[in-house]
Amino acid sequence: MIELDVNGKKQSVDAAPDTPLLYVLRDHLAMNGAKFGCGLGQCGACTVMVDGDAVFSCLTPVAVLAGRKIKTVEGLGTIENPSPLQRAFIDEQAAQCGYCIAGMIMRAQALLEKNPSPSDAEIRRHMMPNLCRCGTQMRIFRAVRRAAQAMQAGAVPDRGRA
Amino acid sequence: MKARSLLVGLAMSVATAGVLITPVSGDTPAAPAGKRAFDATVIARGAQLSAIGNCATCHTRPGGQSFAGGLALETPFGVIYSTNITPDVETGIGAWSESDFLRAMHDGVDRNGRNLYPAFPYDHFARVTDDDVNAIYAFIMTRDPVRATVPANRLAFPMNFRPMLSAWKALYLEKGVYRPDPDRSAEWNRGAYLVEGLGHCGACHTPRNAMGAETKDLYLGGGEAEGWHATAINASSPAPVPWTVDQLTRYLRQGWDDQHGHAAGPMTPVAHELAEVPEADIRAMATYLLAVMGRKEPAAMRAVAPGRDESRVQSGAAIFAGTCAGCHDEGASAISSIRTVPLAQTTSIHAPDPRNVLHIVLEGIWPEPGEKGVVMPGFEGALTDEQLASLLAYVRVHFANRPPWPDVSRQARDIIQHKNENER
């Protein structure tokens, strides 16, 4: 048994040590936000956060996660009360098929937690490992910038609750 | 710091001996050179020579305009910013005459006679013929002038005191253009001329002494570049598969050879530039470098390397299985669309210094912006320092069967910390 801290909740999982975190999230914990894209760290659809950094959950074996904090898109907000990034992705209509979006949001979340006011170049460089095949990159880019501005202004859009 | 006190002593002795005389430019052009006409074939030759010299890589800051300078070069003595070498009259070298430029390349002084820092590798460029320097001048002077002032160097005394560089030059600058060796082939001589001169391979691949000068008796024996280990490319090359001229030519032009690995880190832009150079010149460089490496036999099976930490290797094996094996499993990738160099053949894993492997694992491999190329994801954040150390312990033993690298977790921390500081 391996104990994982996912979104602040301790979870005991019966999985082989080299099992990818992605499989554990989806198959053992029924958390289907992170997606399987390529299984090789080439697309970023599986991106989650570990100790504040964006990582490819498809290439992160659970053996390296003991005592570390995992954050997934399920840990950000809810449908009623989306997080600033989720709100911004909705406002910019940044999803087309949507398959890459949970990974995009988690990579962007890691950026904004470390650097609340990234430059355009910093956003582009940081988001580079994540791919969108539909071609909504420019909307995704604008959504990240919008979320940064909203978080900076402290005026977190909160339409869901209002 | 020992190097510092040596330098202070040297500066004092230079100052007290009154040898602060630096030459003054004797040649002032009537008009900016950029306005003059140059022969198109000379400009084209200058472009190729400039690519061999990799001028643009140091003289361009990230995201900046080509040749406008401003790249921060970290040295053990402080930070030096590369200069603007576009033909802008006020902030670049637009006012420089051909002979000013030749003197800078050969003697390491600027137009006003001030000593230049040997971060500009004039100890190599001194070997370049006047004719070739003049072709580079023609190429540079016909670029678009860019008005850009570069930041002031951040060097501590005595290195911020340029006259003392006269003493450095007296010790370490050998003047005189390359003299061909009549006992060697024309190709060998061409290669030696390019490697020792414009190519300035030794600037990174030769270790430097406390005064920042190349250690001549360890020529191409492995040095430093931007926090990476510049592998030995002499007889002590760690490559497990002996290079051939064809392979080294391909590696230098394409940044990749399927039996040695990928040109990563500071070597990426070098290979990128060399792609523009006629193949015959690269082949000549490869021919010369192979002669420097000498005849080598393929690595024989060694006995199990001593000093391994078995429990670390075991946990590294588990990390490798979950993190790396998808692409780097024994021999080749399980997936046909992914082509990786078999790890047992990559030079970095056999090198005496783990930093290149750490850089690649942490940062991945990415093509130059806007270019196509090999992609490997980076694993910074996914693995802790200790997990990285275990992974490298396994990789070192399993694929290279060499003694473990020391201090891997500390070196991983240093790389991450340095990267975070630079991003701030």
Residue A161 lies in a domain: no
> Rounded CA gap, A46 and A56, in Å?
6
What does pTM read for this prediction?
Answer: 0.88
pLDDT of residue B301: 58
CATH code (residue A100): 1.10.150.120
Shared domain check, A145 and A92: yes
Residue A107 Cα, gap to closest chain B Cα (Å): 12
pLDDT of the residue at A90: 97
Q: Is the pLDDT of residue A98 over 50?
A: yes
Mean pLDDT (chain A, rounded): 93
Smallest Cβ–Cβ distance between B375 and the set A42, A63, A122 belongs to A42
Are A124 and A90 contained in the same domain? yes
**Positions of chain B with pLDDT under 50:** 1-4, 6-24, 26, 30, 34-35
d(CA B206, CA B196): 11
Taking one residue from A and the other from B, the number of pairs with CB-CB distance under 8 angstroms is 65
Q: What is the pLDDT of residue B305?
A: 67
Specify the pLDDT at position B11: 45
**B394 interaction partners in chain A (CB closer than 8 Å):** none
Structural domain contains residue A162: no
pLDDT of residue A155: 54
- What integer is the mean pLDDT of A113-140? 94
Q: Is residue A103 part of a domain?
A: yes
Q: Which residues of B touch A (CB under 8 A)?
A: 63, 315, 318-319, 321-323, 326-327, 335, 338, 364, 366, 375-384, 387, 423
Q: Give percent of chain A above pLDDT 90.
A: 90
pLDDT at residue B334, as a whole number: 56
A24-65 pLDDT, tens digit each = 999 999 999 999 999 999 999 999 999 999 999 999 999 999
Alpha-carbon distance B279 to nearest alpha carbon in chain A (angstroms): 33
Query: How far apart, in whole angstroms, are the C-alpha atoms of residue B418 and residue B349?
Result: 22
For an interface test with B, the pick among A48, A51, A59 (most B C-beta atoms closer than 10 Å) comes out as: A59
In this prediction, residue B4 carries a pLDDT of 47
- Predicted pLDDT at B94: 95
A43 and A101 part of one domain: no
* Same structural domain, A146 and A88: yes
Residues of A in contact with B332 (CB under 8 A): none
Interface test with B, best of A40, A50, A107 (most B CBs within 10 A): A40
Together in a domain, A30 and A90 = no
pLDDT at B336: 63
Backbone angles phi, psi at B345, to 5 degrees: -100, -10
Same domain, A18 and A46: yes
Output the pLDDT for position B2: 46
Q: Which of B319, B376, B380 sits opposite A61 (nearest CB)?
A: B319
Tell me the C-alpha distance between B244 and B349, whole Å: 20
Residue A120 forms part of a structural domain: yes
Q: Does a structural domain hold residue A158?
A: no
pLDDT of residue B33: 52
**Could you say which of A75, A99, A130 is where a domain stops?**
A75
Residue where the block lists tokens 């051939």: B244
> What CA–CA distance (Å, rounded) separates B20 from B130?
27
Helix/strand/coil (H, E, C) string of chain B?
Answer: CHHHHHHHHHHHHHHHHCCCCCCCCCCCCCCCHHHCCCCHHHHHHHHHHHHHHCHHHHCECCCCCCCCECCEEEECCEEEECCCCCCCCCCCCCCCCHHHHHHHHHHCECCCCCECCCCCCHHHHCCCCHHHHHHHHHHHHCCCCCCCCCCCCEECCCCCCHHHHHHHHHHHCCCCCCCCCCCCCHHHHHHHHHHHCCCCCHHHHCCECCCCCECHHHCCCCEEECCEEECCCCCCCCCCCCCCHHHHHHHHHHCEECCCEECCCCHHHHHHHHCCCCHHHHHHHHHHHHHHHCCCCCCCCCCCCCCCCHHHHHHHHHHHHHHCHHHHCCCCCCCCCCCCCCHHHCHHHHCCCCHHHHHHHHHCECCCCCCCCCCECCCECCECHHHHHHHHHHHHHHHHCCCCCCCHHHHHHHHHHHHHHHHC
Residue B185 has a pLDDT of 97
The answer to whether the Cβ–Cβ distance between A63 and B322 falls below 8 Å is yes
Cα nearest neighbour of B374 on chain A: A42
Give the integer Cα–Cα distance in Å for B265 and B360. 8
- Do A119 and A139 have their domain in common? yes
**Quick one: A6 and A65 in the same domain?**
yes
Number of domains in chain A: 2
Last residue of a domain, one of A54, A75, A96: A75
**CATH classification of B310-423, choosing from 3.90.550.10, 1.10.760.10, 3.55.10.10, 2.60.120.960?**
1.10.760.10
Q: List the CATH number of the domain containing A57.
A: 3.10.20.30
Q: Residue B204 corresponds to which tokens in the numbers above? A: 């990174």
Per-residue pLDDT, B139: 97
* Cβ neighbours of B338 in A, within 8 Å: 40
Substitution target in A38, A64, A71, A128 with the highest count of B β-carbons within 10 Å is: A64
Residue A159 has pLDDT above 50, yes or no: no
Q: Are residues A68 and A89 in the same domain?
A: no
Cβ-contact A12, A2 below 8 angstroms: yes
At B298-322, the pLDDT tens digits run 666 566 667 788 899 999 999 999 9
A123's tokens: 């956003």
| A61 → closest Cβ in B318, B327, B378 | B318
Using an 8 Å CB-CB cutoff, list chain A residues near B364.
129
- For residue A93, the enclosing domain spans 84-153
Residues A8 and A26 in one domain: yes
A160 within domain boundaries: no
Interface with chain A: mutation pick from B319, B392, B416, highest number of A CBs within 10 Å = B319
pLDDT digits (tens, 9 = 90+) for A62-77: 999 999 999 999 999 9
What's the first-to-final CA gap in chain B, in angstroms? 28
**Per-residue b or e along B120-155, where b marks 16 or more CB atoms closer than 10 Å to that residue's CB:** bbbbbbbbbeeebbbbbbbbbbbbebbebebeebeb
Give the Cα separation of B216 and B171 in Å (integer). Answer: 12
